[in-house]
Structure 1
Amino acid sequence: MQQVTMTAFTTHFCKSWLRELKPRSRMLASCLQVLLLAATLAFLALPASHAQQHSNQAPGEIKDFRLTESSEGLLLTTTMRFDLPEQVEDALYKGIAMYFVAEAQVVRERWYWSDRMVAQATRHMRLSYQPLTRRWRLSQSSTPFSDSGLGVSLGQNFDELGDALAVMQRITRWSVAPADALDGSGQQILHFQFRLDMSQLPRPLQLSTVGRSGWNLLLSRSVRLTGNTVESEK
């Protein structure tokens, strides 16, 4: 009986199969790269969704913004106009308190390094609704409400949501910087911001609102501090 050497046959078959497979693999890889590039370009060319287009737009405006320099320092008076997002108002009517914060920072420009903050002021607000009494309560504090026992909290009660919002939207003679922090050289900028403070909400609610545009509320204004922008009070 004649013996057949299977090893030589197997080696020859594998080499032939690999020689045929390599060009096909290269062609398949090239096709996949072209398809991936085309899909990426098509995705980038798509217009932004309606939610994305409006997610960065402020749901209100700053109608009035005045700075007054006095012996007490720099005083800020401003009037804002905004409507609460629908999700925020719905949470309020369910008895969940909402938190807001107004922040003012005075920074000095430095060409050789990042700007240096020379003064900062913060005002925290908590708005809540009592379903049993159908009354609104607005509390204001210089420190976060989560820091129990710190700072002074002032509270007011209202029959209507609009009345509570009117008080929130009006800031009068708020001391945002001491007098010795101002130099009037034009190298200082005041950054003002009013926003919904998600950090003080219950943890489960914070997680459920991450990335959702319906919880956006942000108004901001920046002003360079010069003699033309700051009024002197006698």
Structure 2
Amino acid sequence: MVFITHCWKNVRRRLERSARLCAALLVCLASAVLASTVDLTEMRTERTDGALVLHTTLRLELGPAVEEALVKGVPVYFVAEAEVLRDRWYWYDRKVASVTRYYRLVYQPLTRQWRLNVSGEPLSSAGLGGSIAQSFDNLSYALSMIRRQSGWRLTELSELDPDARHNLTYRFRLDVAQLPRPFQIAAGSQADWSLSLSRNLRINPDPVR
């Protein structure tokens, strides 16, 4: 009888341990599914009107923690950066151009609208001057404006050496540094706020040549 009781206790402990492991695994899987994600579905350059322009389309989804912060009226900032580099075999690649777009997304409870500011200069709650602002009835419409970055003028074609090879580096991220301090601390342990990507693209030579 003592032996059977001892064995049953061991089995019960193993079952309890397995149940805890399964629960932890389910939590991790749920967090991975619900976390914010970003990826590129399109990235191409085009020569038009004497300039090199960039077209990108993002697959951007915000996780529950980010959406909850937005609904509470916390502004969330995104940054898109593009650099044009010229290959140099004898030294570091030369930076031909560097451009940045800043996005500020916030929910306005009084009007129940989402407001998006876009600017070529850094944005903050204290300085939105010079930015283009639009209001949307829902979050999906506001995010669609961030997801599609079309006709982004990078540099004049005269700045590109026709005899050299050029590369484009594109980066997109959620700017955690712009969040209120309590959210910055929480962001360090929540996957929802770890949202960034970086991609490289070889710029095709001018087909006219």
TM superposition score category, shorter chain reference? 0.7 to 0.9
User: Paired residue for 2:7?
Assistant: none
User: Paired residue for 2:144?
Assistant: 166
More strand by share: 2
User: Paired residue for 1:205?
Assistant: 183
Of the three residues 152, 157, 174, the one matched with 1:196 is 174
User: Paired residue for 2:73?
Assistant: 95
Contact in 2 for aligned 1:67/1:76 (Cα 8 Å):
yes
User: Paired residue for 2:84?
Assistant: 106
User: Paired residue for 1:78?
Assistant: 56
Contact in 2 for aligned 1:186/1:226 (Cα 8 Å):
no
Contact in 2 for aligned 1:186/1:224 (Cα 8 Å):
no
Q: What CA distance in whole angstroms lies between the structure 2 residues aligned with 1:205 and 1:106?
A: 34
Q: What CA distance in whole angstroms lies between the structure 2 residues aligned with 1:80 and 1:202?
A: 26
The Cα offsets for residues 65-97 of structure 1, whole Å up to 9 and x where unpaired, read as 221112341111122112112211110011100
Quick one: which amino acid aligns to residue 161 of structure 2?
D
How far off is 1:129 after superposition? Answer: 0.3
Q: What CA distance in whole angstroms lies between the structure 2 residues aligned with 1:101 and 1:195?
A: 5
Distance 1:121 1:112, change over 3 A: same
Unaligned runs of 5+ in 1: 1-49
Unaligned runs of 5+ in 2: 1-27
Q: What CA distance in whole angstroms lies between the structure 1 residues aligned with 2:83 and 2:44?
A: 15
Aligned residues: 180
Q: Indicate yes or no: 2:120 matched with 1:120.
A: no
Distance 1:195 1:149, change over 3 A: closer
Q: What CA distance in whole angstroms lies between the structure 1 residues aligned with 2:155 and 2:172?
A: 17
Report the TM-score when normalising by structure 1.
Answer: 0.67
How far off is 1:217 after superposition? Answer: 1.6
How far off is 1:215 after superposition? Answer: 0.7
Percent identity of paired positions between Structure 1 and Structure 2? 43
Larger radius of gyration: 1
How far off is 1:211 after superposition? Answer: 4.9
Q: What CA distance in whole angstroms lies between the structure 2 residues aligned with 1:116 and 1:210?
A: 34
Distance 1:150 1:136, change over 3 A: closer
Quick one: which amino acid aligns to residue 153 of structure 1?
S
Report the TM-score when normalising by structure 2.
Answer: 0.74
Distance 1:109 1:163, change over 3 A: same
How far off is 1:151 after superposition? Answer: 6.1
The Cα offsets for residues 179-202 of structure 1, whole Å up to 9 and x where unpaired, read as 222124452110111211122222
Quick one: which amino acid aligns to residue 37 of structure 2?
P
Q: Indicate yes or no: 2:123 matched with 1:145.
A: yes
Q: What CA distance in whole angstroms lies between the structure 2 residues aligned with 1:200 and 1:58?
A: 17
Distance 1:58 1:181, change over 3 A: farther
- Point out 4+ residue stretches in structure 1 off by more than 4 angstroms: 147-151
Matched residue SS, 1:111: coil
Q: What CA distance in whole angstroms lies between the structure 2 residues aligned with 1:130 and 1:178?
A: 39
Contact in 1 for aligned 2:36/2:193 (Cα 8 Å):
no
Of the three residues 175, 193, 196, the one matched with 1:218 is 196
Contact in 2 for aligned 1:142/1:151 (Cα 8 Å):
no
User: Paired residue for 1:9?
Assistant: none
